[in-house]
Structure 1
Amino acid sequence: MVHFTRICFRKYGNFVDNLRLFVRGGTGGMGLPRLGGRGGNGGDVWVVATKNMTLKRIKDLYPRKRFIGGTGGNSSVRALKGETGKDSEIFAPVGITVTTDDGRILGHLNAEGDRVLVAKGGTGGSFYSTFEPSKGQTKHIRLDLKLIADIGMVGFPNAGKSSLLTALSNATPQIASYAFTTLKPELGNLRYEDYKQITVADLPGLIEGAHLNKGMGHKFLKHVERTKQLLFVVDVCGFQLASKTPFRAAFEAVQLLTKELELYKEELVLKPAILAVNKMDLPNAEDKLQELKEQLQNPDEYSDGLPDDMIPKNHLTFRHVVPVSAKTGFGIDVLKRCIRESLDEDAVMATKAIHQEKLQALRHQSREHL
């Protein structure tokens, strides 16, 4: 039996998930022609993953957003080889993708201590450069945060994601019966009695057309990329975003969510997924749930009457379909247990795959020695 304690919650105030910075490597030092002395190289500029750092903090600490490597030391009679200029380090949160302005990826910061070189310092003056130093690389870079979480909660506005996170934890996110209550990602850390920890990211609500950058658009969808698994949250009685938009039943909500993920990046729908059917405290919820389960078992049949732009290429098969009520607490413990089981299942499969690769490598080495 799985035992667990409540989720500890972390909130991102004034959330910033993209930052543009100017970086320049340090200029090299002058060489010394008459003695053949070499100047020191200029310092490099690095982005380094560290704890307790946010992009907002970088923005606040460095309002000019300029990072420049130190200048290399000149060659002299006392020191024919000049000292290397001091490196400049930009401390950034884990989960950052570092890109150039034109979108070229320079590197990823997936774990604390990861480093990405973003601007190399210039070389010191030497015989090969007529003792003249070179300048360092100059460019603009972008730090793009994609939250790393075990579980990413996805759902349309007013599906009850914030309420569900509250039911899972002692969190107090803003909750109301109108669209776009959650305007920034929020993380909850679920700690189990065996010290296992699972991170759940409650991400801003999708709308139809999010893949085209409507509503939260890409600001939301990019955060799904680094989650291990997905937790779909739908209102068992369906939803209507506004009076002029069509009503969507729970099954249609599932299809639309899948379609939006697929259109943004097709591999997202290959992630393992759990479906939380929320608001089971509402009238006729049980009948609606049975209808939804039937539709999920025969998605092609029940998708026949839907417009083509609502039907995903591949229908999701959920590992668990869990009815819950964030309001009353019904099904919350079952959902916690299903989340744990699903992640544990993948961890076992990953370990087996690693062992299999090592075994094949050993067999290959043995054949080479024969």
Structure 2
Amino acid sequence: MGYPRLGGEGGRGGDVWFVAQERTTLKTIKDRYPQKRFLAGTGANSSVKALKGEKGKDCEVHVPVGISVLCDDGKQIGELNAAGERLLVARGGLGGSLATNFMPCKGQRRIVHLDLKLIADVGLVGFPNAGKSSLLSKISHAKPEIANYAFTTVQPELGKVMYADYKQISVADLPGLIEGAHANKGMGHKFLKHVERTKQLLLVVDISGFQLSIKTRFRTAFETILLLTKELELYKEELLTKPAVLAVNKMDLPCAKDNLSELMKQLQNPQDFLHLLQEEMIPANTLEFKDIIPISTYTGEGIEELKARIRKSIDEEAEQENEEYRKKKLLLLQTSEEGQVNRS
């Protein structure tokens, strides 16, 4: 509150900030704030000793890296994608002053939703039972649950691929997609929202094909790739612009080499084989794979080559980003120099 007699101004209320922090989980927040209320401090009143009251204490809430903060109406307030990043969620009210008849103003009051999306260099994409979890356990130190039935993975699993020069690449094993995932069938949006935050896609398909149950149609490896592409496209078309590598798994099975030969022909001229699918299941654009690697998570065939190709793809993208950054900096520098010459 202000101090009318001397024109004193009350301190404004504290603000509520979300701060991204490593090793913080949504459970951590729930345990620390069981009432799910984040309250900042009240500003100090104006007085004879201090005509301008002190600002109220800010409330800082530690949240996981990769969080999206949404309003109650679904609009996004912001994202926190790196440790130490801060987001102002609610601003404190103004202190009492002449403009407010020396009465303090109320601060912002908001209902927010926290949506956590996994951040990884590479996201494993495939139908259930394609061997994604087995692959993650082969290329990293992660220990995901592995079994011979669909939907073993029900939440994202993160692993680190280690290289001889100590380079580390994070790989996320994401829950298996099914036809209709874009419409939130199966794991639906719970899966697809994590794909948004991965830098690159690693599609994993079973060379022998896939059938979710006796009630669903059998799909060949080629049809599987097209259906996965369609699901990504329908959820968010920009996902198809991400660099992608294809791992053709289960090459230890009988007829795998013949099936692979057929798949390579189909991928070279996909337009000639689109009639295999119903029209509504055909993607508008097909994914262009940087590499196609035949592998077997059972025998270990192709695993080292796949790790090398992942590393090469990540390094190429990083170099391209650095080159684009250097060009932007150079352009800004040239523009600045031209401006100085014109002024002189």
TM-score by length of 1: 0.90
Corresponding residue for 1:333? 304
The farther-off stretch of 157-166 and 186-195 is 186-195
Q: Does 1:127 align with 2:110?
A: no
340 and 40 in structure 1: CA distance in 2 versus 1, 3 angstrom threshold: same
Report which stretch shifted further, 54-63 or 150-159.
54-63
Q: Find the aligned partners of 2:139 and 2:301 in 1 and give their Cα distance.
A: 11
Cα distance in 1 for residues equivalent to 2:76 and 2:8: 37
Instruction: Tell me the residue number matched to 1:212.
Output: 183
Task: Indicate if the aligned counterparts of 1:41 and 1:85 stay in contact, CA closer than 8 A.
Answer: yes
Query: Does the CA-based 8 Å contact 2:142-2:160 persist in structure 1?
Result: no
Pair 1:102 & 2:111 matched: no
Cross-structure match for 1:26: none
User: Which residue identity is paired with 1:279?
Assistant: K
Candidates 167, 174, 180, aligned match of 1:203? 174
Superimposed CA distance per residue, residues 71-113 of structure 1 (whole angstroms, 9 cap, x where no aligned partner): 1111122222211111011101111111211122211112111
Q: 1:157-214 deviations in whole A, cap 9, x for unaligned?
A: 0101011111113332111121111000011112222222111011111010000011
Distance in 2 between residues matched to 1:78 and 1:360, nearest whole Å: 54
Please list, as runs of the form range in 1=range in 2, the aligned pairs for 1:46-195 lying within 5 A after superposition: 46-195=17-166
For 2:71 and 2:163, the matched residues in 1 are separated by 40
Distance in 1 of aligned mates of 2:72 and 2:130: 36
- Matching of residue 231 in structure 1 with residue 202 in structure 2: yes
5+ residue gaps, structure 2, are: none
Amino acid at match of 2:118: L
Percent identical across equivalent pairs?
63
Equivalent residue, structure 1, for 2:314: 343
Q: Residue 86 of structure 1: SS of its match in structure 2?
A: coil
Matches within 5 A, 1:214-293: 214-293=185-264
Please say if residues 49 and 92 of structure 1, whose CA atoms lie closer than 8 Å, have aligned partners that are also in contact: yes
State the distance in 2 between where 1:162 and 1:305 align: 29
Code of the aligned partner of 1:58: I
**Offset, 1:366:** 4.0
Measured in 1, the distance between the counterparts of 2:148 and 2:32 equals 37
RMSD: 1.2
* 3-state secondary structure, aligned to 1:82: coil
Partner Cα separation in structure 1 for residue 98 and residue 263 of structure 2: 77
1:225-264 deviations in Å (ceiling 9; x for gaps): 1111000000010110011000011001100000000000
Counterparts of 1:109 and 1:359, CA distance in 2: 29
Higher RCO, 1 vs 2 (CA within 8 Å, ≥6 residues apart): 1
Higher alpha-carbon deviation: 323-332 or 228-237: 323-332
Q: Which residue pairs with 1:297 in the alignment?
A: 268
Q: Which moved more, 1:188-197 or 1:282-291?
A: 188-197
**Do residues 31 (structure 1) and 2 (structure 2) align?**
yes
Could you state the TM-score of these two structures normalised by the residue count of structure 2? 0.96
Checking the alignment, whether the CA contact within 8 Å between 1:262 and 1:269 is kept in structure 2 is yes
- Name the structure 2 match of 1:306: 277
- Distance in 1 between the 2:16 and 2:311 partners? 41
Measure, in 1, the Cα distance between the counterparts of 2:47 and 2:290: 70
SS at match of 1:320: strand
How far did residue 267 of structure 1 move? 0.5
> Which residue identity is paired with 1:285?
A
| CA distance in structure 2 between the partners assigned to 1:354 and 1:330 by the alignment | 38
**Structure 1 CA distance, aligned partners of 2:273 and 2:133?**
29
Structure 1 Cα separation of the partners of residues 338 and 120 of structure 2: 41
